[in-house]
Each structure stands twice: as C-alpha cells, then as structure tokens.
C-alpha cells in the first residue's frame, strides 16, 4: 500500500515536520509555530481549520520570497489582505510610473482595435473608426424630434388655457407656429 501524506502532499508534510522539529529543538513546544503571530499551530487546529504554507513575514512570495513556514489560516489571510496586497499594489504602481505606463491599457502604443485604440473591430462590419462620445451625442440629437411640442401635443393645457408645466419659458401662439419665449410677449390686459 502506498504511503499517503498527512497533509495531502509530500511537500506540505515536509514543511509541517520541519517546523515541528524546529519548535522542539528551540524549546517552543511540540507544535509548529505560526510565523506571523508566534502562537503554536496545534494538530487539532490544523485538522479543524487547516493551515497555510506561509512565506516569511519579511519577504512575501510576490516579491520573490522563498522561505516558507506554517501559519494559521486566519493569520495568513489577514496578513495577505492588510499587508502584502497593498504593498504589492503600491510596488506595481511605482514600477508602472517609472516605466512610463499609465492609463487602462498601460502601454505606450494601444493595441490595435483595443479599448484605447481609435479603431474598433466587429464580426459584421470588420475594422472601422471608433466614434467619439461627442459624435454619438450629435447623431442622437439629429434623430431626436425638434421641440418639446412633439411630446406634449402643444404648449398649453387645452382645457384650461394654462401653459403646460413641461414647457416652462416657452409659449406658442397657435398650432404649427414656432415657440416664442414668454419674456418677448406683451402682458395681457386685465378683463
């Protein structure tokens, strides 16, 4: 019958046994010591919650760290979330800044038909010039009806003769005529 490692792989078992031996030789107990919180990782905790192969707190794997140890799952996840991830993001931003990369595509020359390129590519129409936002707005306005009368059916409420609330400062003098601002009309004489 082949040997089955205690923690799923021979590599993880070697790390566990090495850290356990290190703790015993240094008089720290019979269990491996978490390299992040310096508390023992007991066998019961390891079986219940699991344990992580943790890189030395001084140099993370993302920065080329090779030294590994045993850590509690919670300790390793917290250290990664609060220390390693922000540090790696800052280091990547600094490298990009010094190499002259900026923007979403991060390259000096945008990829052809990529999101920063002036070209776009579709299956139907092939390679075309990408329309800008101002061109899209102009095309939308060209398709739109000219005035608000199209939507309101006139500028006044026909039953009461009052101006329509959506029209605001515009009043018309009859159907089919162009709107005239109220400020240019003469005040009506009281009856």
Give the per-residue pLDDT at 156: 47
78-102 as b/e: b if 16+ CB within 10 A: ebbeeebeeeeeeeeeeeeeeeeee
Q: What domain range includes position 163?
A: 145-172
Question: What pTM was computed for the model?
Answer: 0.50
Give the per-residue pLDDT at 5: 75
Give the per-residue pLDDT at 43: 87
| In-domain check, residue 106 | no
| In-domain check, residue 2 | no
| In-domain check, residue 113 | no
Quote the tokens at residue 172.
Answer: 């018309």
Give the per-residue pLDDT at 138: 92
Number of compact structural domains in the chain? 2
The rounded average pLDDT for each run of 10 residues, N- to C-terminus, in the chain (191 residues) is: 76 89 91 90 87 80 82 90 90 85 68 82 89 91 70 51 53 53 56 59
| In-domain check, residue 115 | no
DSSP state for residue 8 in the 8-state scheme: S
State whether 83 and 161 are in the same domain.
no
| In-domain check, residue 60 | yes
Quote the tokens at residue 165.
Answer: 């609330």
């Amino acid at each position: 019958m082949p040997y089955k490692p205690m923690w799923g792989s021979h590599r993880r078992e070697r790390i566990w046994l090495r850290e356990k031996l290190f703790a015993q030789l240094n008089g720290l107990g019979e269990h491996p010591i978490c390299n992040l919180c310096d508390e023992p990782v007991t066998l019961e905790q390891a079986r219940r919650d699991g344990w992580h192969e943790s890189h030395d707190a001084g140099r993370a794997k993302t920065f080329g760290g090779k030294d590994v140890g045993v850590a509690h799952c919670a300790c390793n996840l917290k250290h990664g979330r609060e220390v390693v991830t922000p540090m790696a993001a800052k280091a990547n931003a600094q490298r990009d800044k010094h190499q002259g990369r900026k923007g979403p595509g991060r390259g000096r020359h945008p990829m052809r038909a990529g999101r920063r390129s002036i070209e776009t590519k579709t299956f139907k129409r092939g390679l075309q010039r990408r329309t800008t936002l101002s061109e899209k707005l102009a095309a939308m306005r060209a398709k739109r009806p000219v005035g608000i009368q199209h939507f309101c059916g006139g500028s006044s409420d026909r039953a009461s003769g009052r101006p329509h609330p959506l029209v605001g400062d515009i009043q018309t003098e009859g159907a089919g005529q162009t709107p005239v601002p109220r400020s240019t009309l003469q005040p009506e004489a009281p009856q």
